[in-house]
Copies of this chain bind each other. A is one copy, B any other.
């Protein structure tokens, strides 16, 4: 199966100009294989994760993607800033400083933050959100020195207790707007926000404030698997009007990369290059504006 992204290689390349593949979507590929597959398809952007980058070696990974002509559109992830214990808090801040260093080394200006859930036994969402703000205040100068922006990612409310107490774009912006837009932005991920009738207003607000740091895509499919973490759908397989969200981001002034991040064991069980080609084709069909013009 080819990418089927248009009549000519140039058309395909144009349709994929903003497309970025998050490494986790095709985690069966090592970094060199990922870079090769991107090169063959004309994919120019990759979103990376700290753990596989560390396994490969940070500097080696930075060199590999640079030599392959790839742009690192984001690094996942910092965050987990809600634990009130002094030791846990110090470790979390240290870890986030390390993540900011790694982002700078990889040449990306965007560190995605998954803020953290409720501490064990706590029912205090408001307090947890306030601790995130406190931690951001400590991290902002460090991020500024490295030219990296922390991007708060609201996660679907089904993750509010165990992963991220920031559940809506509005909440993420309430946090981000306490700090300079150059250091703290937000992530718009369709998987997490698709259901929210206030998301369009949030996207406009993020754009107006210069805080729309990253646009990520995955589709919503059911039934959700146990634990709900690995149930994301391939673009076009689910309930999300993906093109609508891309247009909302564009209308808010966003012209950056559009990163596809899908956690799905069925995709991981397949040939990674084939999944990447399929994902690129789905992107052109369900997200890119060029495809609409061609087929209309």
A184 to chain B, nearest CB (A): 19
Is the CB of A123 closer than 8 A to any CB of chain B?
A: yes
A102 to chain B, nearest CB (A): 29
Q: Number of copies of this chain in the oligomer?
A: 2
The interface residues of chain A, by DSSP majority, are classed as: loop
Instruction: Name A171's contact: one of B157, B197, B223 (CB within 8 Å).
Output: B197
Is the CB of A248 closer than 8 A to any CB of chain B?
A: no
Is the CB of A292 closer than 8 A to any CB of chain B?
A: no
Is the CB of A125 closer than 8 A to any CB of chain B?
A: yes
Give the A interface residue count (CB, 8 A).
35
Structural contact, A239 and B171, CB atoms closer than 8 A: no
A95-122 CB mask vs B (1 if < 8 Å, else 0) is 0000000000000000000000010001
From 182 to 199 in chain A, residues with beta carbon under 8 angstroms from any chain B beta carbon are 194-198
From 224 to 282 in chain A, residues with beta carbon under 8 angstroms from any chain B beta carbon are 224-228, 238-241
CA distance A165 to B220 in the complex (A): 13
Structural contact, A239 and B195, CB atoms closer than 8 A: no
CA distance A156 to B195 in the complex (A): 10
A114 to chain B, nearest CB (A): 15
Structural contact, A161 and B125, CB atoms closer than 8 A: no
Instruction: Name A160's contact: one of B124, B126, B195 (CB within 8 Å).
Output: B195
Name the 7 nearest CB pairs between A and B, nearest first.
A160-B195, A161-B239, A123-B241, A157-B195, A158-B158, A226-B226, A223-B227
